[in-house]
Structures are given as C-alpha cells and as structure tokens.
A and B are shown apart, each in its own frame.
Chain A
Amino acid sequence: MLKLSRYILYDILRNKIIIAYTLFLLVISVSMFRMEENSAKAILSLLNIVLIVLPLISLVFTTIHYYNSYEFIELMLSQPMSRTRIILSEYSGVCISLLTSFFIGIGIPVLLYSPDAVGISLLFAGTALTLVFTSLAFLASVIARDKAKGIGITLLLWFYFTLIYDGLVMLVLFAFSDYPMEKFTLVLSALNPVDLGRIFIMLKMDISALMGYTGALYKDFFGGVWGLLFTTGIMFLWVVIPLWLSVKYFKKKDL
C-alpha cells in the first residue's frame, strides 16, 4: 500500500498547492505568536483557524485531488490491484500530505511558543479534524460522479458543521431551556467533530470558568481521562465510518 502512496504523495507535491498551504499556516501561526504578548491569546486565535480553515482546506483539497486522480485510479484498476488497496492508498497519501503541512505550519510554532496542555490539545484537535474531513470528502467524492456536485457537497458539509449545526443546537437549547439539558448537550457535541474539538480545547483554557454550570459539568467530564478517551473515540468513529462507507461504495462502483 505504501508503494502506491509514494507515487500519490509525489503527485501531490508536484502541484505545489500543499506547499502554499504549509506556508500560509506557518505565516499565520508565527505572526500570531509574535503579535500577542500572551501566548494563550495566540492559541485562541489559532483555534479559530484550526476549527474553520483546516476543515475547509481538507475538504476542498481532498475532493479536487480525488477528481484529478481519476485517471490514475482507472490505470491502477486495470492492474492487479484491489480496489480497497487503491482507495486506501489515495486516502493515506492525502492524509499524510495534509498532516505534514499541519505539523510544519502549526505544530512546530505551537511547540516552540506554547508547549503546554492547551497547545498539545490544539494539535490533537487539528490532527483529528484533518483526518475526519478528509474521510468525509472521500465519501462525498466517491459517491458523486460529477466534479461540481462533489465540491458542492463538501462545501455544504463545511457550512453545516461550522455554521448551521451551531444554530440548530441553539434553537434546540432555547426551545427546551426549562429542562436540564447538560447531558443532552454532551450528546449533541459528539454529533459534530468541530464542536467536539472546540469544547476539548476550550476546557483546557482558563476561559472555561466563564461558562457557568454547563461549563463546570463539561470541565468535570472532558477534563479527566474519560474526556480524552471519549473525544478520541468519537473522533475515531468520525474518521472510520465515512472511510469505511467510501471503501464499500468504491468497491461496487463502475468506472
């Protein structure tokens, strides 16, 4: 499998977008740390980059890469190569390149300027979100035959997870504000990897003290080992389920 990924990685590096992306992240994170006196403030700004820009780039990059490698996939399929192996090599190729960018662009500055629990959890959330949204993008592009449709679906997914979902949660919370909703909001957070990542990082910061009773409950839950296990487990499911579905769909697909 790695044999194939090597060629996919080479192809990705050749088109320089990934290098531009790395530089973009690097410039942003270094300038954040340089401008803010307090590194916690810089982390807070980076948090927004990780939660909003990272998913968007992962989705769009993966989708475009998939449609551009259609020829490559076709060529590989006429060789003695199983479909599962082809699609997983594509997935690992994209993941490796996106994660490398993330580690160079955000990982190294964070480890240099703010190597504490908050910094580490930011890197953890970033890694998880990259993997999750690459999986989701693969699922969308395997299902949609048409390029425009594929990119449309991934953009909708991004809007949904970063904007629409929060609105819906607010609506539910307002409608049922007379009932105890703390446990329920925990479940809601698991249904959106972006929210899960946000809560996971926020609770490592001091600002969680401002979040009242729910914040205390969250702190209690996410602060301990169980919180880490819960977050890791849910993120893992968010990676594996879309990936599994896309492998399953790809095996039946006509090319």
Chain B
Amino acid sequence: MIWIENISKRFKRLQALDRINVEFQKGQVVSLIGPNGSGKTTLIKCILGLVKADSGKIAVNNEYINNDPRYKNDIGYMPQIGRYPDNMKVGQLFEMLQNIRNHSADHLDKELIHQFDLQAIFEKPMRTLSGGTRQKVSAAVAFLFNPGILILDEPTAGLDPLSSEILKEKILQEKKKGKLILITSHIMSDLEELTTHIMYMQDGKMEFIKDLQTLREETSELRLSKAIAKIMRGERTDNAWIEKILNPHK
C-alpha cells in the first residue's frame, strides 16, 4: 500500500533521511523505532507530503504522490504534537473536517469520540485543552474517516493509562480489518501488543525491517524489547537509549 523508493532528505546540515527503500503492505502494523532525531517523523511527513523529499519517490495505493492531494483521503494521521487553531471549538473542528472531506456521515467512525467522551468538550475552544486531551482529539480525528492507512506518531505518549488502553484496543480492532498501520513509539511494551513488523532507523538510514516472528527467532527472545536490545548490542555500540528503556531504574 505504501511504496517508498530511495527517499532522501537533507535539512541544511542534517541528513534526515538517507536513501530509504521500503514497502508496507495491507494488514501490517509497522513500528518505526529509532533514537530521537533518527528521521521517523520526517519519513512520516514525507508520506503525508508535509515535507518534500529531495530525491526518490513515494507511492500510496499504487500511485506516485505528486501535487494531487487526493491520496490523503485514505490516510488518517495522528501527529506527535496535535496543534490546532486556538479559537476553534472541538465540535467545530470535527464539523469542519467532515465538511472539507465531503465524507458521507454514515461512514464515519465516531467510536473514539464516544469512548473518550469528547462530546462533553465540544463547546470548549482548542486552546483551553490539556496536552492529553489534545492527543485524544488527534486520535479521534485520525480514525474518523475510516481510512485504509493509519499513521500514528507517538500515539500513547501523554495519554492516561485508561485512554491509552482504549486507543490500543482501537488499533487492534483496525488491524483485524486489514488496515495498514504505521506507529512510532518509544514505549516497547505498547508496541509489543500491536505490532507485526519492526522497522529500525538510525541517523536517517533504515537499518532493518523484520516481522516479529523472525526477530524473535533470530534473537531467541520472546519479549520485543529484549529482542531489539539484543540485535542492537550485536550490531552497534551506541544504543544506550534502548538500555534505558529496558532498565529505567539502573
């Protein structure tokens, strides 16, 4: 469903993406893992057309993306930090998005709006919302149009345990429907329950993409976090970040 061909992007001094080649299929839940600044968000923004790649091509649903934005009809995006117009009310945001997407009302997926109880804050302006509530709004927006591809940038960061559980349930449910889901996260335990494939990035390069089974077999570790740590240790030395996730109390 998403085909990425030799994508490179350079921000002044930083090589954010370095010749990335990868293909994501229907039914996969791909976890993008890597240290901060390894290019995960840039890759996502390239797929969404927010960042224009220097070279390479991206195809979504078998069509190369260019200036025609229609391919985004099939993508639901939840940004890392949801930023919305200050004066807009929550209810208006949903109304506006429905209005500009021209989506028929009976195909909307309002489950998250109900489960997060967002109707209660429909009259509140966006600027008064806390970070976590914004995340809930972002999540509800991403799932609203029932898209075939979901791109979730750190979905559970900032959510309380209950909401985080609701969101994970929702992701699992969509996975069963055979959607393609891309997730970036630093919380390995969250990913473990959801993911089918792991894509590891470092310094703008893709180190590997493997399905969970292969990863477990290669490392003979059942837990995702340990499996990844093992691979990292074998391949490179500068992986202190993963050590920290594994043993936060050491």
B129 beta carbon closer than 8 Å to chain A:
no
A177 beta carbon closer than 8 Å to chain B:
no
A252 beta carbon closer than 8 Å to chain B:
yes
Q: Which of B68, B75, B101 contacts A82 (CB 8 A)?
A: B68
B50 adjacent to A254 (CB under 8 Å): yes
Cβ distance B117 to chain A, nearest Cβ, rounded Å: 22
A75 adjacent to B83 (CB under 8 Å): yes
B72 beta carbon closer than 8 Å to chain A:
yes
A78 adjacent to B50 (CB under 8 Å): yes
Nearest CB in chain A to that of B125: its residue: A14
Question: How many residues from B make CB contacts under 8 Å with A?
Answer: 29
Q: Which of A11, A14, A80 contacts B69 (CB 8 A)?
A: A80
A77 adjacent to B50 (CB under 8 Å): yes
Q: Which of B11, B52, B84, B99 contacts A75 (CB 8 A)?
A: B84
Cβ distance B17 to chain A, nearest Cβ, rounded Å: 12
Contact residues of A between 55 and 91, Cβ < 8 Å to B: 68-72, 74-83
Cβ distance B184 to chain A, nearest Cβ, rounded Å: 15
- Report whether over half of chain B's contact residues are helix, strand or loop; otherwise say mixed: mixed
Question: How many residues from A make CB contacts under 8 Å with B?
Answer: 26
A15 beta carbon closer than 8 Å to chain B:
yes
User: Could you mark each residue 58-92 of chain B with 1 if its beta carbon is under 8 Å from any beta carbon of chain A, else 0?
Assistant: 00000000011111110101010001111110001
A3-B99, A72-B85, A79-B101 known; A251+B72 contact, CB < 8 A: no
Question: How far, in angstroms, from A3 to B79 measured CA to CA in the complex?
Answer: 24
Question: How far, in angstroms, from A79 to B51 measured CA to CA in the complex?
Answer: 14
B87 adjacent to A71 (CB under 8 Å): no
B206 beta carbon closer than 8 Å to chain A:
no
B100 beta carbon closer than 8 Å to chain A:
yes
Nearest CB in chain A to that of B67: its residue: A82
Most buried by A among B72, B75, B77, B96: B96
A3-B100, A254-B51, A254-B52 known; A80+B71 contact, CB < 8 A: yes
B140 beta carbon closer than 8 Å to chain A:
no
User: Could you mark each residue 196-214 of chain B with 1 if its beta carbon is under 8 Å from any beta carbon of chain A, else 0?
Assistant: 0000000000000000000
Question: How far, in angstroms, from A243 to B79 measured CA to CA in the complex?
Answer: 30
Cβ distance A79 to chain B, nearest Cβ, rounded Å: 6
Question: How far, in angstroms, from A3 to B101 measured CA to CA in the complex?
Answer: 11
Question: How far, in angstroms, from A255 to B86 measured CA to CA in the complex?
Answer: 19
- The 6 A-B residue pairs with the shortest CB-CB distance in the complex, in nearest-first order: A71-B83, A80-B72, A14-B87, A72-B85, A254-B51, A78-B77
List 12 other contacts, CB 8 Å, given A77-B48, A77-B50.
Answer: A11-B85, A68-B86, A72-B85, A74-B83, A75-B84, A78-B48, A78-B72, A79-B97, A82-B68, A254-B50, A254-B51, A254-B52
| 10 sample A-B contacts, Cβ–Cβ < 8 Å, listed by A number | A4-B100, A7-B88, A74-B50, A78-B72, A80-B73, A80-B101, A83-B67, A253-B52, A254-B11, A254-B45
